[in-house]
Amino acid sequence: MSDVKVKICGLSTEETMEAALEAGADMVGLMFFPKSPRHVSLSKACKLADMARGKSEIVAVTVDIDPDGLSRIRELVNPDIFQFHGSEAPEALAAAKVMQGARVMKALSVAEREDLERAHYYSIVADWILFDAKPPKGSELPGGNGVSYDWTLLKDLDLKKPFLLSGGLDPSNVADAIRQSGVSAVDVSSGVEREKGVKDSELIRAFMAAAKSA
């Protein structure tokens, strides 16, 4: 078994949360973005977070949310990490770390090598960087679109902070992605769904097995 960390993102049911936890997910992501088919209410998120607490790191995924919204999530769900998946500036991450007393992760869109440059600014503040594919034209979702990019762009990237590879991963290609990129952490959402926004327990287990054995 490898020591690759795996984040299963956009979980929204107790059954699929259970599958992710039993399969050994290192991080579980709860989506707080009403436009997303994976969005969960605060009350639902509380139940799911309670299942995961102490077993996996709970990541609250947000998109350009205001400080009051962050505080409500902090108060009710108490995540380990806030993920910022919008156009948030490094200063917003720094403020959230202080005000919410939690670690922060910044998602950045990648299509070519130049897109990695911004990561150095964010890595000063962020505890994790997540490299996702650029969304297709016209998509309202910043992530979870099932599109990929050249994984070799991340090879030998020296950020001084841990980072995850995301975008277009599924059980059939994750091992190859890990080999090509050399990353030690991966993130999946649409690649373990049977239809948009609906996770599949079998696909979660298959992804976990493939990533951990890479």
Which helix (H) or strand (E) covers residue 4, if one does?
A: none
User: Among 125, 21, 15, 32, which residue's Cα sits nearest to residue 74?
Assistant: 32
Q: Which residues of 56-93 are buried (b: 16+ CB within 10 A; e: fewer)?
A: bbbbbbbbebeeeebeebbeebebbbbbbbeebebebb
Q: In 58-173, which residue ranges form alpha helices assigned H by DSSP?
A: 67-76, 90-100, 118-122
Task: Please tell me the distance from the alpha carbon of residue 19 to that of residue 35, in angstroms, as a whole number.
Answer: 25
Catalytic residue list: 9, 132
